[in-house]
Amino acid sequence: MALLQPAANFDTTRRGAHPVRMTRVAGTVGPPARSLPATLLDDGRVGRHVRVPKTAELVAAHLRRQIVRGELVEGDALPPEAVLMEQFGVSRPTLREAFRVLESEALISVRRGAHGGARVHRPDGHVAARYAGLVLEHRRTTVADVQHARASLETPAVRTLAETATPQVIARLRAALTEAAAAIDGRGQGEADGTTADPRAPLLGFHHLLVELAGNQTLTVIDHMLRHILHQAASHGTGEHPDAVGPVTEEAGPEHQDVHRRLVELIERQDALGAEALWRQHLAEPGTEPLSHAVLDLLGG
């Protein structure tokens, strides 16, 4: 939570009509105090003709940076509003504007009541997926388009996976296979992925696991975003049928299980070309390619 050193230099030439504001309290007050490097929100540029940053935006940016840089970690509680007001030297409405912004970014969640207040959450791909989905929905993108994009992501991932396969990676893939096999036989147990609590997670997560094990963090995040968008579109757009999510996001038949098994074997044999070819064919199968040419419909049509 740090000492939340606010902006000290505001050139805005505020007069003394009001008690001096924006004078940060330098003292470390919070219980768990973290060191915060002296930051300068405004580097003294004078040429800025437009783009006057709002005070709430500055406060939000300050807290956001602390969260992103790890100075504020998951579950950390921010000081009460009154303390933050004094530390930042802003009024309550301004502070609350910053809260709403950060809350919309899922970087904090504010609860009211005793022991309430703002708690920190680490940024996950869901928020990025939400805004990417906004753009896609605005462009009238179809669900099939998103699915095709996700398939395009998996192909290079499989290739890389086959090229850089380690015993640990093979072990995780095989574990996923056995988990999926156990889940398809009846009840399934949770997945180590931790992304969803769906008991069908082992079935749904194999594709994502491929991307994740490929080792590229950016592709992993992107795949997570696309997966989130597809899941949201399936459960929110095409008629509130959570049961219909399966064929839309992933396949779950035993014949697909066989393809998965063969893919792991090819990866284990370091057959990059073979693995890529198999997966490309698998993704192009009509059973996998869904019929949803509907326009993406997030955030409630």
Partner DNA sequence: GCATATTTGTGCGTATGTATT
Partner DNA sequence: TAATACATACGCACAAATATG
In the complex, which residues of this chain contact a second copy (CB under 8 A)? Answer: 54, 56-57, 60-61, 64-65, 67-70, 93, 96-98, 100-101, 103-105, 122-125, 127-128, 131-132, 134-139, 141, 145-146, 148-150, 152-153, 155-157, 160, 216-219, 221-222, 225-226, 299-300
Evaluate whether 236 touches 122 at the Cβ level (below 8 Å).
no
**Which of residues 26 and 291 has its CB atom nearest to DNA in the complex?**
26
**Which of residues 21 and 261 has its CB atom nearest to DNA in the complex?**
21
CA–CA gap between residue 278 and residue 288 (Å, rounded):
14
- E strand intervals along 61-209: 108-111, 117-120
Question: For DNA, which stretch binds (CB under 7 A), given 62-70, 83-91, 162-170, 277-285?
Answer: 83-91
Among 45, 52, 186, 187, binds DNA (CB under 7 A): 52
Locate 230 and state its tokens.
Answer: 């597809």
**Which of residues 163 and 265 has its CB atom nearest to a second copy in the complex?**
163
DSSP-derived letter for residue 295 is B
45 is an interface residue for DNA by CB under 7 A: no
Measured CA to CA in angstroms, residue 49 lies from 7, 44, 53, 122 at distances of 20, 13, 11, 35
Evaluate whether 208 touches 224 at the Cβ level (below 8 Å).
yes
- In the three-class reduction of DSSP (H, G, I as helix; E, B as strand; rest coil), residue 207 is classed as helix
Among 65, 96, 126, 174, binds DNA (CB under 7 A): 96
55 is an interface residue for DNA by CB under 7 A: yes
23 is an interface residue for DNA by CB under 7 A: no
Q: Which residues pair with 119 in a beta bridge?
A: 77, 109
CA–CA gap between residue 49 and residue 47 (Å, rounded):
6
CA–CA gap between residue 72 and residue 80 (Å, rounded):
15
- Total residues in contact with DNA, by rule CB under 7 A: 44
Q: Which does 263 bind (CB under 5 to 8 A by kind): a second copy, DNA, none?
A: none
Q: Which does 218 bind (CB under 5 to 8 A by kind): DNA, a second copy, none?
A: a second copy
